[in-house]
Amino acid sequence: EASAKVIDGKSIAKEIREEIAAEISRMKESIGIVPGLAVILVGERKDSATYVRNKKKACESVCIKSYEVHLAEDSTEREVLEHISSFNNDPSVHGILVQLPLPSHMNEQNVLNAVCTEKDVDGFSPLNIGRLAMRDREPLFVPCTPKGCIELLHRCGITIKGKRAVVIGRSNIVGMPAALLLQREDATVTIVHSRTKNPEEITREADIVISAVGQPNMVRGSWIKPGAVVIDVGINPVEDAKSPRGYRLVGDVCYEEASKIASAITPVPGGVGPMTIAMLLSNTLAAAKRAHKFE
């Protein structure tokens, strides 16, 4: 029975972190500066707290200085904006990240717009997304999760140019920028979303599938063209009495089935997740290099 190559995001991300650490130590020795990343977390969502903790740990592992602000659930948008403004003006902070989602009484657009473009390491500002979409323009930063997906393809030697790609999901943070990036890499891209008719049939045409939906095991083996490459962004908790936490994480793709049909596939966890954080570190390093004209 055929079996796909497992794309080991965890070890590829480790390799990238090592490259970043080496670059940061070169920077430190030569100009006496290390990159700084500010993270703003509002509220008490457990998943957000975990993401922030992991980002902080990853920063420490490569000698990026992290600055964390944790605000209460009932704090005001104004307080968030004030912190952003002070980080915008702090020369030791090169990247600013606002952990999403924000509490519902805050306007996400106002908050994200407040982060200055040069420090927008999440790449969510309209200016960065606009440049990503336009020919012959270069965004300062590309959103971390889709950038991590493309980096996985590159580092596994998978050609994107000329391929048929299907992105399932069109969110601002994953699906949409993933589709733009694939198109920049000269793939022919189709986007499947919740109103798409015959998603299975369309997905089966793809040489490369990137799924960012948030539905456990939605993409079945029958959706995958034999030999296709499958990048599963989904991180979905499902009940599991056998796990000490009572749940485990699965992707959007039914791994059992798809791994018998695809030529390569990312596992969940251990696929795209670690790459997202590695790309955040990479964007923060790039911001610091740009700020200090360090090459």
Burial 45-61 (b: 16+ CB within 10 A, else e): beebeebbeebbebbee
C-alpha to C-alpha distance for 81 and 220, rounded to whole angstroms? 43
Q: Closest approach of Cβ 171 to ligand NDP, in Å?
A: 3
> Considering beta carbons, is residue 123 or 291 the nearer one to ligand NDP?
123
Token pair recorded at residue 27:
């920077």
User: Is 122 annotated as catalytic?
Assistant: yes
Token pair recorded at residue 147:
């950038």
| Bridge partner list, 6 | 265
User: Is 183 annotated as catalytic?
Assistant: no
User: Is 99 annotated as catalytic?
Assistant: yes
Sign of the Cα pseudo-torsion (287, 293, 294, 295, in order):
positive
Which listed residue (139, 273, 289, 291) binds ligand NDP by CB under 6 A?
A: 273
Which listed residue (36, 95, 139, 169) binds ligand NDP by CB under 6 A?
A: 169
Which listed residue (36, 199, 210, 278) binds ligand NDP by CB under 6 A?
A: 199
Q: Closest approach of Cβ 195 to ligand NDP, in Å?
A: 5
The verdict on 62 binding ligand NDP (CB under 6 A) reads: no
Which listed residue (178, 192, 229, 231) binds ligand NDP by CB under 6 A?
A: 192
Point out the catalytic residue in the list 8, 55, 119, 232.
55
Residues 252 and 280 sit within 8 Å (Cβ to Cβ): no
C-alpha to C-alpha distance for 68 and 86, rounded to whole angstroms? 13
Q: Read off the amino acid at residue 27.
A: M
Point out the catalytic residue in the list 8, 120, 122, 232.
122
The verdict on 175 binding ligand NDP (CB under 6 A) reads: yes
Angle, vertex CA 43, rays to CA 79 and CA 239, nearest 5: 160
Angle, vertex CA 126, rays to CA 19 and CA 183, nearest 5: 65
The verdict on 113 binding ligand NDP (CB under 6 A) reads: no
Q: Closest approach of Cβ 139 to ligand NDP, in Å?
A: 18
Residues 6+ apart with CB under 8 A from 107: 77
> Considering beta carbons, is residue 233 or 253 the nearer one to ligand NDP?
233
Closest by alpha carbon to 185, among 163, 200, 168? 163
Point out the catalytic residue in the list 8, 99, 207, 225.
99
| Bridge partner list, 67 | 38
The verdict on 143 binding ligand NDP (CB under 6 A) reads: no
Which listed residue (46, 195, 197, 242) binds ligand NDP by CB under 6 A?
A: 195
Which listed residue (140, 233, 265, 287) binds ligand NDP by CB under 6 A?
A: 233
Residues carrying an active site annotation: 55, 99, 122
Interface positions with ligand NDP (CB under 6 A): 145, 168-171, 173-175, 192-196, 199, 212-215, 218, 233-236, 272-273, 276
